[in-house]
Every structure is written in structure tokens, then in C-alpha cells.
Structure 1
Amino acid sequence: MFKKVLQGLNQKKAKVFSLFLICSFLAWFISNLSETYESRAYFTLNYRNLPDSLLLGKNSNNQIEAKLRTSGFQFLYYKIFRSQIDIDVSQVDYRNGQYVLSEEVLRRQMDQQLSQNISLLYLDRNVLDVDLYQVDSKKIPVQARLNLQLQQNYILDGKIKISPDSVEVKGPKNEIDTIQSIKTAPIQLTDVNEDFSSEVSLVFPKGLDNSIFSVGRAMISGKVSKFSEKVFDVPIQVVNAPEGYQIRTFPNSVTILCKATIERLKEISASDFEIVADYGQLDGSVSSKLFLEITESPQKVYDIKLEENTVNFVLERQ
């Protein structure tokens, strides 16, 4: 029984001793952190305020080492969380074909962002080289890579719409001058019988490491309508008849098959077409046939087809 009491007291003393030891260590650690030290710290660089005429290349320095004088608490913070410094690129100088920030400007920018109780003693470089280059810009048309298969008796009513229809690219002149168009990723639409709309990514040419594009996706859309057919009987007009003669064709009219939407066909009449037979095309030959040509036709139709491409004729003296 007496031994058990002694063991309990010893365990209690050990716990109390451990607690005091931990508290003493924390007091010593905090006391040391509150003192002032000189040591090195690393900062991640974030480039800001780029002029419109310049772009940031991929070889810019993204880290800088500095010697600081501050409390141990601050150094502990920098060791755990690598701090970031914003670099105002609008203050760069152009020297010997390169863009640089002088040590004076770099120190001033860093001092403005460090805490008041931190002294900046030393930087690992006299100047900061910034990988910048002059840029041009231009608009590049977007082309849709669309494989559209419509249901029978359906047509694409109007042109394919692309939004945006162009992309602005900024980059070195020798890079962007090689770009003539930007294509979309392939789109496959089958058995379509209604209006469609699809968002698709843009495919940019390879090797444009220093160029920036304004958008990366586009919307492809189109209007689909059901079409029908209608036949029109159109009179034939003869031109370039020889002097003193008139030309009579057999027949004097020709049938045209027109395909369009049902609504559009209701608006079309035979007078919207003009069929011409040109005697001058014979050029002295003795043929008895003239080729027919559609010289006028209504807009917004899918297809127009002549039932006959030639017509017989005779010359009659006036």
C-alpha cells in the first residue's frame, strides 16, 4: 500500500516537472524570438502594371534573396510563409538591350511593402533583370471546323455564326505575323433538324510561347429550316442577235426548279428570275442550240436548277 502511494507521488512530481520544463522552454523561445536578428529571407516576385506595349516573358526572375534586420518572430514568419513582393514594371529602364530595375528602385518598392519594424540591409543583386519584350497586336479570324449533317429536307438557313468571329492576339511581331486564322476544335453534328448552338474551344498554333490570345472559346450556331421545292416557268431572253435578224427559241421559256424554305417559296415568283440565251457565244459556229444561263435569281434560296441547259433557235430576217 505504501509503495503505491510513493509511485503516485512520483508520477505527479514527474508531470509537474514536465509542465514546468515546457513552460520554461516556451518562455526562453519567446524571449529569443522577441530579440532583433540579422538574417536572410526569400521573397516571391509578382510583376504588376505592365505597359500595354510590353509583355512579360517566361525567363523573368521569380525570387529574390534579401538580408533583413528584424525580430525573430518576423524571421519565423518568413521561414514558414515565403512572402510575396509586388514589382511595379512601369518603372523599368531599358539598358543595353534589356529591361532592368535599378537597386534603388527595387529597394524603394520593397521598403514600401515591408513592415515598419523591418530594415532591408542587403539584396542579392544590384539590378533586377526583367524579361520583357515589345508586342504587336492584331485580330485573327476564327474558322469553324464543323461537320454538319442535316436531316432530309432540311437546310442551313443563312451562314454559320461564330461568336466572337475574331481573336485579338498580342505578341512579338515575328510570331503573330505567321498566324492567318484560328480554328475551333472539331464539331460533329448529325441528323440535325433544328437550330443549333455549341460552345467549343479554340485550337492555337504551336510555337507561340510569347503570344497571348484574348479568348480561348467561341460559340458556333446556325439556323436550320425545312425546305421544299417549287417549279417556275421563266421566259428566255436572247441577247446579241446579229444585225437585221431576230432570234426565236423553241421553246420560248424554260422550267426552273427552286429549293428554299416554305415561307420563302411563298414570296418568290417567276419574275424574280432571268434566263438569258447569248447568241454571241456561238462565235461563228453553225450550232442550232444556245446555252442558257441564269443571270438573276432571288436571294435566300438553297438551290436553283434549270430543267434544260440548252434551247433550239432559228434566225429570222426582220
Structure 2
Amino acid sequence: MLNRFKTVTRARFKKTDFNSFLFFLFFAIVIWIFVQFSKQYSEVIEIPVEYVNVPPDKLLLNNPENLQLRVEENGFTVAWFSLFAPSLHIDLSKAEMNNGNLVYDLVENRAELQSQLELDLDENQFLKEALVVKYEQKQEKRLPVIFRSNIAYAAGYSAVNNLSFTPDSIRVSGPDNILDTLSSLVTKPLSLSRVKNDQEGTVYLDTTALPNVTFYQNRVRYSLDVEKFTEGKVQVPIEVINVPRGLNVVIFPKEVVLFFQVNLKDFNKVTASDFRVVVDFNNVRGEQDFLIPEVIKKPDFTSNLRLNEKRIQFIIKK
């Protein structure tokens, strides 16, 4: 009897097409899901918000991070927005002041919001008509900019003038307790090597330690004129100044060789008469028998001056 039952059962299993059964079961589930999700639903979903174009003189305080939207859509749309709701950009430049708050009218800005959500806001509505944004008024201050640079020139090249940048000061806003500690702003370091051509560009301010400060401008433009320089020398007479009346001071040597740097185009303009070297008798102390020469006149386009004599001997003749 038992053997007969096993034989019949085995035959029935062979006759049953389990693959077909599973296919139709899966197909039925898909149809059921499609039917259910094709129905209209009314659900309230959370839409994350992100505030943009915040007025630079205002610091936002603990404001809503989501907006509630009642969605009247099919199940597919409701499910999508429940799982993957896009961030909604709230443009605070379009908000109005009201009782010390910024008020963003969701109805007036419906077209912009609708383009972001890709939903018909005539059929789907926010639970609120306006978004009230609280803020703290920041204080403002204009701070000078310190330009940080490390510039190395190629051999024979140098800057015609100091590096220039603009603006030299920038307006910032922020809490009083932070602005009171600030006396200047610094740029990110600019490093240049083997420079032989004119330089210009943009450098950003270093704002890493100032997260709660708003910068009305966060970068400066710089320029640097670079030319090839050469070294020249001239022989210049030494003048003795501040000699007391009645004293005859004799110095040795009476002339010095003055070395200077100048760009090539101005080299032929330089003459000895463009320089003035003096020794000041008022600087004599005690039994000192020498004077220190000093260059008190030079052309503006020369630099790196040096004299071949560091001390000038003197005697007093009666």
C-alpha cells in the first residue's frame, strides 16, 4: 500500500509545472502592486529645505529643516517623494521683513517651487502659506587685507615695484564677539619660484577659522611687474654734515664706490650726481675716529644699494 502511494505522488509531481506556477504567482503580485500604486492617495510628506541667498548681514537661527506638503497623487509619486524627496531651495533674497523675521511667501513663489518639485502645486499644497525664518542681525566691519607671499626670482630678475593687490580692505559681517577679535584678514599663501615675467592672478582669503563670518568679497587680485635687472656702480663724493663751527674735519677716503641694481632699460639713465652719500658728525661718540656713510638720495628706480666702504676715517685739523 505504501509503495503504491509513493508511486502516485511521484507521478503527480512530475505532471505539475512549478515553473509556470511561480511565473503566474509573480505576475499576479506585479499586477496587484501596479493596481494598488495606480490608485490616488492623499499623504503628507516632508520636503527638506535649503536656504540660499541668505542676506550677508543676517545669521539664521534654528529654522525649519523641512516643509510639509500634502500630496494628492498616485502611489508611485507618493512613494518616490517619500523616499527621495528633492531638497527645496528657499531663496531668501525674495523674503520680506515682518516683525523682526524674514517671511518667505510660499504662495507667491509657487512657480519657482513647482519647477523644483516638478509637481502641480494647484493640486498639491503646502500645509503653510509662508515660511517664517528667524535670524540674528550681524554687525559689519571693514578690515585691511594682509597679502601673504613668498616670491623667488630667477637670476638677474627682480620686481620693479612692490606687489600690488586690490581691494586692500574687505567688508565682513558677523557676531560681535567674533568681529571684536579681528583686526585684519589674510590671504592664502602665494608661492612663486624662478619668476622672470610679469605676474597677475587671484588669491582667496584664508577663511578656514571664521565659519560664522560673512565675507562680502572672498578674494583679491594681485599684479607684479618683473624685469631683468643688472648691477651698476658709480663713484660718489662723500659729504660731511653737522660739523661744529670752527672745526676742520678731514675724511678718508673722500669718495666711495656705490653699487646699485637697475633694470636694463633704465641703466643708461643713472649718473653719479643722482646719488648723495653723507657722514654725520653728530653720530661721533667718545673717542670714535670713524663715521658711517649713508645714502640719502637715489633714483627711485634703483635698488639694493651698497657701498664699498663701511667706515670712513676722519681727523680734526686745528
TM-score by length of 1: 0.67
Structure 1 unmatched runs, 5+: none
Q: Report the CA distance between 1:82 and its aligned residue.
A: 0.6
- Find the residue that maps to 1:203 and give its secondary structure: coil
2:57 pairs with 1:54:
yes
1:61 and 1:130 in contact (8 A); partners too: no
2:103 and 2:133 in contact (8 A); partners too: yes
Task: Tell me the residue number matched to 1:79.
Answer: 82
The within-5 A match list for 1:283-294 is 292-294=293-295
Q: Report the CA distance between 1:41 and its aligned residue.
A: 0.7
Structure 1 CA distance, aligned partners of 2:44 and 2:58?
31
Structure 2 CA distance, aligned partners of 1:204 and 1:30?
50
* Residue 65 (structure 1) aligned to one of 64, 68, 71: 68
Task: Tell me the residue number matched to 1:272.
Answer: 274
* Residue 118 (structure 1) aligned to one of 117, 123, 144: 123
Q: Report the CA distance between 1:43 and its aligned residue.
A: 1.1
* Residue 141 (structure 1) aligned to one of 131, 138, 145: 145
The range that moved more, 253-262 or 63-72, is 63-72
Q: Report the CA distance between 1:26 and its aligned residue.
A: 5.0
What is the alpha-carbon root mean square deviation over aligned residues?
A: 4.7
Q: Report the CA distance between 1:260 and its aligned residue.
A: 0.9
The residue identity in structure 1 corresponding to 2:28 is: L
The residue identity in structure 2 corresponding to 1:113 is: L
- Find the residue that maps to 1:214 and give its secondary structure: coil
Structure 1 CA distance, aligned partners of 2:158 and 2:142?
31
The residue identity in structure 2 corresponding to 1:295 is: I
- Find the residue that maps to 1:204 and give its secondary structure: coil
Q: What does the per-residue CA deviation read over 1:247-294, in whole Å, with 9 as the maximum and x for residues that have no partner?
A: 5634583113313147244432111111334556669x8987665432
Structure 2 CA distance, aligned partners of 1:307 and 1:227?
21
The residue identity in structure 1 corresponding to 2:295 is: I
Task: Tell me the residue number matched to 1:211.
Answer: 214
The range that moved more, 292-301 or 206-215, is 206-215
Change (3 A) 1:224 1:205: farther
Question: Matched residues, percent identical?
Answer: 12
2:298 pairs with 1:297:
yes
The range that moved more, 134-143 or 12-21, is 12-21
The range that moved more, 307-316 or 266-275, is 307-316
The range that moved more, 127-136 or 39-48, is 127-136
2:47 pairs with 1:43:
yes
- Find the residue that maps to 1:168 and give its secondary structure: strand
2:94 pairs with 1:93:
no
Structure 2 CA distance, aligned partners of 1:133 and 1:224?
50
Q: Report the CA distance between 1:208 and its aligned residue.
A: 4.0
1:142 and 1:181 in contact (8 A); partners too: yes
Q: Report the CA distance between 1:47 and its aligned residue.
A: 2.6
Task: Tell me the residue number matched to 2:160.
Answer: 158
Q: Report the CA distance between 1:234 and its aligned residue.
A: 1.9
Structure 1 CA distance, aligned partners of 2:271 and 2:19?
110
Structure 2 unmatched runs, 5+: 1-9, 115-119
1:38 and 1:69 in contact (8 A); partners too: yes
2:175 and 2:213 in contact (8 A); partners too: no
2:262 pairs with 1:258:
no
2:48 and 2:86 in contact (8 A); partners too: yes
Structure 2 CA distance, aligned partners of 1:167 and 1:280?
43
2:36 pairs with 1:29:
yes
Q: What does the per-residue CA deviation read over 1:126-180, in whole Å, with 9 as the maximum and x for residues that have no partner?
A: 96333453352535313224274x67x6463334536556463532163345141
Structure 2 CA distance, aligned partners of 1:127 and 1:205?
31
Change (3 A) 1:139 1:233: same
Change (3 A) 1:8 1:166: farther
2:60 and 2:133 in contact (8 A); partners too: no
Structure 2 CA distance, aligned partners of 1:11 and 1:173?
73
Structure 2 CA distance, aligned partners of 1:308 and 1:179?
41
